[in-house]
Amino acid sequence: MDEPSPSHSEQWRPRILRLRMRARKAAPFASGVLAALLAVLLYSRLVPAPRPLTPQEVNEAVAQALASATPPPTFSARVYQAIRPSLILIQTEAPGTDGEISYGLGTGVVISQMGDILTSLHVVAGASDIQLSFADGTQSQAQIVAEQPQNDIAVLRALQPPALVIPAILGNPKAAHVGDEAFAVGNPFGLYSSMSAGVISGFDRTFELESGDQTLHGLIQFDAAVNPGNSGGPLLNRNGQVIGIVTGILNPVEQEVFIGIGFAVPITVAGQAAGLPAY
């Protein structure tokens, strides 16, 4: 005998039970959301919003931050640090006309990995002994390996160079302008590794050497202080690049003091004595 079919209400009872179970599961989530909203509302009532800063407070905070910041080094300090490892003190001995030994002083700068040193020819001309002092304290005798008399340039090489030779970075004087910063580093009056600052005063200047038998052309004029002992030293731009080799000062009086006009051979010319390409 066939069993009686279930009624319509009995057919939907499992589905209704399942819907009730889902509703019961959703109830805790809804109550959690409501509790979170109430907590946020209560926090906003009990804890006031932060007060906006006044303009004076903002300025004071900025001033404190700037006061605690370390300022960057000046251009001159960076130039000096760049050229210092490449600077050379040159001391010479030469027989005088009266049979006594005369002593000379000048500056040089390393310009190649091979240790080639540029200086002024008049610093080492006629010397029987050339003594070099490097930045690391190394001392060595030197010999002249090349000369450029028409530009008062000589190339020296140390007989016993230091283990590490650091050449200077060469710049392009053709990219410089009147009024650009100029820095001279050398050994004025034997004051080792002294620096002076000024500007480029002109280009393509002419200068007659103290001997009076030679005139130099195409020189850079500058007003950074240089004195005896600076000859042969580097003239640098604000990036610490060598743009010239100091060769002399214009002085209408008998005393060898600086009056504001110095001259340098462009490095594009002086470097050719050491075999550097023209640029």
For the annotated catalytic residues, the residue numbers are: 122, 152, 231
**By the 8 A CB rule, do 92 and 123 touch?**
yes
Residues in contact with 157: Cβ distance below 8 Å, sequence separation at least 6, in sequence order: 114, 115, 116, 117, 142, 143, 145
Query: What separation in angstroms does the CA of 149 have from each of 152, 155, 196, 221?
Result: 5, 11, 27, 20
Residues in contact with 166: Cβ distance below 8 Å, sequence separation at least 6, in sequence order: 85, 86, 110, 135
Distance separating alpha carbons of residues 120 and 227, to the nearest angstrom? 14
In the block, residue with structure tokens 């200068």: 207
Q: Tell me the longest C-alpha to C-alpha distance in the chain.
A: 153
Q: Which of 243, 245, 244, 247 is nearest to 261 (CA)?
A: 247
**By the 8 A CB rule, do 96 and 61 touch?**
no
Retrieve residue 250's tokens: 């214009």
Distance separating alpha carbons of residues 244 and 242, to the nearest angstrom? 6
Query: What separation in angstroms does the CA of 10 have from each of 4, 7, 16, 24, 112?
Result: 12, 5, 10, 22, 103
